[in-house]
Amino acid sequence: MLERREFIQALGAATLAGWAHPAEAGPLPVYPDLIHRALCPEAPPLPSDQLFRRSSETYWSELRRQFLFRRGFLYLNNGTVGSSPLPVVRAFLESVLREEQLENDDTEQYPLWGYGRWDAYRRPMAEFIGAELDELALVRNATEGLNYVANGLDLKPGDEVLTTDQEHPSGLEPWRLKAKRYGIEVKQVELPIPPTSKQQLLDFFEAQRTTRTRVLLVSHVTTTTGVVLPVRELCGWARQHGIFSLVDGAHAVGMFPVNVKEIDCDFYVSSPHKWLLAPLGCGLLYVRNDVLDRLWNTLATAEWDNREIRAARLQHFGSTNMSLLVGLKAAIDFWRAIGPKRIERRIRDLHAYLKGRIADFPGAELHSAPGEEFTGGILAVNFPRLDRMKLQQWLYEKHRIRIRGTSETRLRLSTHIYLNQADLDRFLAALEEYLQSQTA
């Protein structure tokens, strides 16, 4: 922690910078009160378990004070990126302020992530997803992890990668690059919207399997419809047929508890800056111990060929900002302080409420499945005659509600812990207003 005097000096400098160059701070000026909230030593405490037991709605409303959102702004798009809570922002910023002084008793030490093991940060992340320390590399986002796997596996022309039609470009494109460069094949299973059973999904994959199928790539939660795929069953099926399994868990970590050993995949990738609310620029790449030696590095610098450091060789990518790791660890601590199960329940309850209400809207086509088996925190709903981009812009300009979609007509709505039922009602009323204005 910063000493109080140092903190006040830092705050003064940051405040001046905020006033002097508001335009450089991005679309919103960084007013001193925001800087003060982010850095002030007296952060609001987390609401208590007692409060949760007494009134869970009050608990969640109290918890919202942990976020930097301005009053009246609603955010429903964790599918792209989340907002870090104050303890995470503060841990990150304090680390930046401390480390920028570049003093260290050990004169070989610098605040660089990109050459070292950083076990103090890697270990809690590994524990959080049920991995061994040796099997986890901290990378900068899911895109990086997904590319490392596609680039790192030896495949021959004609070898096949089996995936779905709902993958994010960061999952699919690395394999398409490999297809163009090395002549492998990429096959996409068309996922039913919504799926009806796990067996139905397994049958779709089995129907496309050939003797050349080498890799299975599936999202844990897809980016387009938010469907939660039965990754344990799919990876089991892949293992049975000697196929590598790669799970793109960009959305899953933080949305619900993830255990890579239970899933029993070969590779698991995520972007904790989405649902775990870590600072932007945090990613993870899990590689099962047995397959680690079959994965080549994409980037080579010191120790790229040191097999003894296991997955850590994959996080050797040159100098970058280790304060992000401090923020990542703070995000895990925040999660544990509230309770992953409690968070999952809240995300699912809000999702169920929104799904129930929106299903009754005229013209709404639910692309998310009913119930919980195939859903988590992302709701996909299609309005065939809607111009999604116009609605998205209108919602922000008129109501300061931020959403996103995954086609010209489909909305993708995230229900994270900073929302409550009244917020969702406000969003629904605004949506209704817009839809009515279009039919009038």
Quote the least distance from Cβ 167 to ligand PLP, whole Å. Answer: 7
Closest contact distance (angstroms) between CB of 226 and ligand PLP is 10
The interface region with ligand PLP, picked from 41-49, 94-102, 112-120, 140-148 by CB under 6 A, is: 140-148
Select from 3-11, 196-204, 243-251, 338-346 the region that touches ligand PLP (CB under 6 A): 243-251
Is residue 18 within 8 A of residue 35, CB to CB? The reply is yes
Rounded least distance, CB 195 to ligand PLP, Å? 17
When the beta carbons of 194 and 272 are compared against ligand PLP, the nearer one is 272
Residue 45 sits at φ, ψ, to 5 deg, of -70, 160
User: How many Å apart are CA 356 and CA 13, to the nearest integer?
Assistant: 49
- Smaller CB separation from ligand PLP, 274 or 310: 274
d(CA 340, CA 255): 9
Judged by beta carbon, residue 78 or residue 323, the one nearer ligand PLP is 78
Nearer to ligand PLP, 146 or 430 (CB): 146
Sheet holding 244-248, edge to edge: 136-139, 283-287, 267-270, 244-248, 213-219, 160-164, 185-189
d(CA 331, CA 270): 14
- Does 223 bind ligand PLP (CB under 6 A)? Our answer is yes
Long-range CB pairs of 199-204, under 8 A, 24+ apart, other chains included: 201/229, 201/230, 201/233, 201/234, 202/230, 202/233, 202/234, 202/237
Residue 233: left (phi > 0), alpha (psi -120 to 50), or beta? Answer: alpha
The stretch near ligand PLP (CB under 6 A) out of 88-96, 246-254, 304-312, 359-367 is 246-254
Stretch near ligand PLP under the rule CB under 6 A, chosen from 92-100, 167-175, 333-341, 425-433: 167-175
* Exposed/middle/buried for residue 69 (C-beta within 10 Å: 0-12, 13-18, 19+): middle
Contact 197, 226 (CB under 8 A): no
CA 211/CA 160 separation, integer angstroms: 9
**Per-residue contact string for residues 72-101; x = within reach of ligand PLP by CB under 6 A:** --------x---------------------
Check binding of 270 to ligand PLP (CB under 6 A).
no
Structural contact between residues 255 and 347, judged by C-beta atoms closer than 8 angstroms: yes
Give the range of 244-252, 330-338, 339-347, 381-389 binding ligand PLP by CB under 6 A: 244-252
> Does the protein bind ligand PLP through residue 164 (CB under 6 A)?
no
Residues in contact with ligand PLP by CB under 6 A are 80, 141-143, 168, 170-171, 219, 223, 248, 250-251, 271
